[in-house]
Chains A and B, each alone.
Chain A
Amino acid sequence: MNITISDLHFSYAPNVKALNGISLTINAGEQVAIIGQNGAGKTTLVRHLNGLLKPTSGSVSIGDWDTTKHSVAKLASKVGYVFQNPDEQLFSKDVLTEVEFGPKNLGYKKNKIDQLVKRALELTELTGKQETNPYDLSPTWRKMVALASILAMDTPIVIFDEPTTGQDFTNITRIANVIAELKKTGKTVITITHDIDFCAENFERVIALSKGQVLLDGSPREILGQEEILAQTYVDPPQLTRLGKKIGLQETVITPQEFLKALAQRAG
């Protein structure tokens, strides 16, 4: 299911442009990271993908659905959206009920729901915590419950809004695993992130936004080495990219594997 955004403009208030002419196509199964400075329009952009915001002008289509023609609740069958703060959605007496909420809303059959929920709990390592009240879990685990509650909806497109913010190393690894698993099953993943190393290691396409426009769009290798352009939107290249440049590696490297390979080649 492709996402087509054409000449999207959006203003929260007259004269305050949040998005200023964005055109993008995101193909089914792509893993896309959206980066850029605070206030660049990242959240505003992804909120258009499930109809939470409607374009001031231009259009957004999910498959052949124009987002202005369908309710958010209907679009939820195509686009899952993991919000930044889990506490703004958790309300059930236990984890299981919470995770079942989405797929039930979508009207799936009971055994499909059971399967999806089981899978989502496994992926987020929540198995064994089904009967716990979400509010008895730590914020880190509440984040995983929120994640599971969207995964269980089995949507072809999944959006994450800053999933790694405030998370520790173990949980970032967990989230990376979830994204890898979604990729394997052919889902489209769109993630807003400030964590550029996370972005370099887990995504195949990077879109840098600045002042409501697309600044850069391409593979991490094409995009994340462009230090000066990225600086316009307050982003540094990944650690190893900066290091590679400084020690004079020929090509742009972004992951540890690439860096070590380039290093080995240089050593001969």
Chain B
Amino acid sequence: MAFINIQNLTYQYPTAKAPVLQNINLQINEGEFVAVIGANGAGKSTLCYALAGFVPHFFKGEFSGVVEVNGIQSSQAALAEWVLNVGLAFQNPFNQISGAKYTVFEEIAFGLENIGVEREQMKSRIEAAMKLTGIAELADRSPYSLSGGQQQRVALTSILVMQPKLLVLDEPTSQMDPIGTREIFAVIRDLSNSGMTVVMAEHKMEWIANFADRVIALKDGQILLEGKPNEVLTSDVLAENGFGISRYTSTAREAQKRNLWKKDSLPVTLEEAVEGFRRK
């Protein structure tokens, strides 16, 4: 039995005229790192909310089908219980600051206080999480005094520190600098290697290709494609449907037409591109 099991999920927001997710079927194994791609409005965020339990619990609306994580159906569980296993961080970092805390260190403690972690353990968990995401030196700063990218790291750390079984991330690096983004992807990859399941909505194809196990392409609320990054991200279907792809893939496709790319499959990562373009 898969760790995440979504069956026939269709969902419509209360004030919407049409469903934003339609008949989604998806199985994800424990420890998998799955990236969700798609245009804005394709349903990425809603899928994240559905996994995190906020659809339907928080948003209400018309929900049908099954979202099951670790053997429990979201519709059967209380949201307060659900979030103990499923962590969510989303794009706008400013709105994720609790507003009740004075320093970054205390901000990150917010969730641990809520689940009753003892003080000494709390401190060591926060320190470890901050070290992981590279924000140890921000500990005593006010969360409001940080730049957008730094706030995003704080938002991510605030969820990581709670050690969820499933980590749901909706464009968590959008405001981070390029190398910072790569570092965060690497951290998430490590977490997934150590058993945490990760579902991440993202646009940054190069890092998805490098770090994710699987890619799900959404279009108009439906799954258009799913599979390994090098299958999905090189598919003609993706290009035809207006998805952005990495320069490695798009340039190799051009090169293929001019007979400058000789391999059958297109590259998605730097390494694959180097492999194919290197002079033999």
Contacts and interface: CB of A to CB of B under 8 A. Distances in A.
B21 to A, nearest CB: 16
Given A168-B203, A234-B180, A256-B254, A247 B277 contact: yes
A16 to B, nearest CB: 10
Interface string B7-51: 000000000000000000000000000000011110000000000
A256 B177 contact: no
Given A170-B39, A170-B242, A196-B178, A38 B150 contact: yes
A242 B269 CA distance: 11
Contact of B40 (A167, A194, A197): A167
Contact of B274 (A140, A172, A243): A243
Given A38-B147, A38-B150, A239-B248, A168 B40 contact: yes
B250 A256 contact: yes
Given A39-B150, A256-B250, A256-B254, A169 B178 contact: no
Interface string B154-182: 00000000000000000100111111111
Q: How large is the interface on B (under 10, 10 to 19, 20 to 34, 35 or more residues)?
A: 35 or more
Interface string B225-263: 000000000000000001110111011001100101000
A236 B243 contact: no
Given A165-B175, A169-B244, 9 more contacts: A138-B41, A162-B175, A168-B244, A194-B177, A234-B178, A235-B179, A246-B278, A256-B250, A263-B277
Interface of B: 38-41, 91, 147-150, 171, 174-182, 203, 206, 242-244, 246-248, 250-251, 254-255, 258, 260, 270, 273-274, 277-279
Interface of A: 36-39, 43, 84, 138-140, 162, 165-172, 194, 196-197, 231, 233-236, 238-240, 242-243, 246-248, 256, 259-260, 263-264, 266-267
